[in-house]
């Protein structure tokens, strides 16, 4: 194995459908041994990006490679990459086992592998049921089973949590974590951060085809730390209080004297310290943005304006 095995690399990738710029100069990397969330609202360009990674859509420009090669140049593509794209269609008259047996030769594995992967995704109980009667959650599991047929080191899963109930989401979390723990590259898209926030190590967030954030989940979570907005008519006194207490301040877009946002401290502590210092406050507001609201901020159209990005 070389060090680039299993690494997904997208560089300056763009795709236009007529006037629609579905993917716009997108650059990111995905590492093996980790679960990476590929996040963005509906229409952000997630599926189009995954389709380009799989050679199903030709990029307008830029490149998308897996282990250093475009999908079409991989020696054994089905043994290298397992993909479940959204709206996977299953022949409704086939049973789950039949479906997997149809795909087994394509994946280069014996028929017996079909029941193994059904077992892996907890669908053995429905092996002989027709797929037409499956719930969305069962279809998701069957899609996942199909991607695992050839035991590939790289998994691309498009909205795998869609349609799962809370129990299914918990199961998916444990399952994806175990796949990454085996050293696999696991890229999983979602339009809801909260759906995957307990599953992913890294996040790549896109909106309107563009990258808006890429980091570890921990680094993203720091943006969402609880904070306290504090204001005082005595700007110098406030600055002195903050410095003396050693509180961390959140970076402000437009710093204003007499106004700060403090991280990692609660309102009661700030109020008590201000009282002890005989400092008058005009505002003391606790604020817990939460990850989902950070996600909405990052992906909202207004964000383009603050980034100075022409639309």
Ligand X SMILES: Nc1ncnc2c1ncn2[C@@H]1O[C@H](COP(=O)(O)OP(=O)(O)O)[C@@H](O)[C@H]1O
CB-CB contact of 156 with 53 (8 Å): yes
Contact call for residue 190 and Mg ion (CB under 5 A):
no
How many residues touch ligand X under the rule CB under 6 A: the total is 11
CB atoms within 10 A of CB 228: 24
Separation CA 126–CA 301 (nearest Å): 44
Of 4, 11, 12, 17, the one binding ligand X by CB under 6 A:
17
**What are the angstrom distances between the C-alpha of 275 and each of 31, 258, 271?**
50, 16, 6
What is the torsion angle, in degrees rounded to the nearest 10, for the CA atoms of residue 58, residue 14, residue 82 and residue 132?
-80
Least separation in angstroms between residue 47's CB and ligand X is 3
Phi, psi (rounded to 5 degrees) for 113: -65, -25
Q: What angle do CA 75, 150, 201 make, to 5 degrees?
A: 95
Picked from Mg ion, ligand X, none, the partner binding residue 53 (CB below 5 to 8 A depending on kind) is none
Of 13 and 104, the one with the shorter C-beta distance to ligand X is 13
Least separation in angstroms between residue 175's CB and Mg ion is 21
Least separation in angstroms between residue 260's CB and ligand X is 37
Residues in 33-52 at the binding interface with Mg ion, rule: CB under 5 A: 46-47
Least separation in angstroms between residue 229's CB and Mg ion is 37
Separation CA 149–CA 111 (nearest Å): 10
| Stretch of 35-43, 121-129, 246-254, 262-270 lying at the interface with ligand X (CB under 6 A) | 35-43
Of 41 and 122, the one with the shorter C-beta distance to Mg ion is 41
**What are the angstrom distances between the C-alpha of 152 and each of 92, 156, 183, 307?**
26, 10, 11, 39
Of 43 and 271, the one with the shorter C-beta distance to ligand X is 43
Contact call for residue 20 and ligand X (CB under 6 A):
yes
Of 14 and 48, the one with the shorter C-beta distance to ligand X is 48
Residues in 36-95 at the binding interface with ligand X, rule: CB under 6 A: 40, 42-48
| Stretch of 16-24, 137-145, 178-186, 241-249 lying at the interface with ligand X (CB under 6 A) | 16-24
| Stretch of 14-22, 61-69, 178-186, 273-281 lying at the interface with ligand X (CB under 6 A) | 14-22
Instruction: Give, as one character, the DSSP assignment of residue 198.
Output: T
CA atoms within 13 A on the CB side of 70: 15
Binding site for ligand X (CB under 6 A): 17, 20, 22, 40, 42-48
């Amino acid at each position: 194995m070389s060090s680039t095995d299993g690494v997904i690399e997208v560089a300056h990738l763009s795709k236009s459908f007529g006037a629609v710029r579905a993917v716009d100069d997108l650059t990111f990397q995905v590492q093996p041994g980790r679960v990476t969330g590929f996040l963005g609202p509906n229409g952000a360009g997630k599926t189009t990006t995954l389709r380009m990674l799989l050679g199903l859509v030709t990029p307008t420009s830029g490149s998308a490679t897996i282990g250093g090669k475009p999908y079409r140049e991989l020696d054994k593509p089905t043994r290298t990459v397992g993909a479940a794209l959204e709206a996977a269609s299953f022949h409704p008259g086939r049973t789950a086992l039949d479906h997997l047996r149809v795909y087994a030769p394509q994946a280069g594995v014996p028929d017996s592998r079909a029941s193994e992967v059904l077992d892996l995704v907890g669908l053995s109980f429905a092996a002989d049921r027709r797929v037409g009667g499956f719930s969305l959650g069962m279809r998701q599991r069957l899609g996942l089973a199909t991607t695992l047929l050839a035991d590939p080191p790289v998994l691309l899963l498009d909205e795998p949590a869609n349609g799962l109930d809370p129990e299914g989401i918990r199961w998916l979390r444990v399952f994806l974590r175990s796949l990454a723990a085996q050293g696999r590259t696991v890229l999983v898209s979602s339009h809801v951060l909260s759906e995957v926030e307990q599953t992913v190590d890294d996040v790549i967030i896109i909106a309107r085809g563009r990258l808006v954030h890429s980091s570890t989940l921990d680094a993203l979570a720091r943006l969402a730390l609880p904070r306290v907005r504090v204001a005082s008519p005595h700007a110098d006194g406030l600055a002195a209080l903050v410095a003396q207490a050693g509180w961390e301040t959140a970076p402000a877009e437009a710093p204003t004297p007499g106004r700060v946002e403090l991280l990692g401290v609660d309102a009661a502590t700030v109020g008590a310290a201000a009282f002890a210092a005989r400092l008058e406050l005009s505002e003391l507001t606790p604020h817990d943005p939460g990850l989902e609201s950070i996600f909405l901020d990052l992906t909202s159209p207004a964000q383009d304006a603050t980034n100075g990005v022409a639309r």
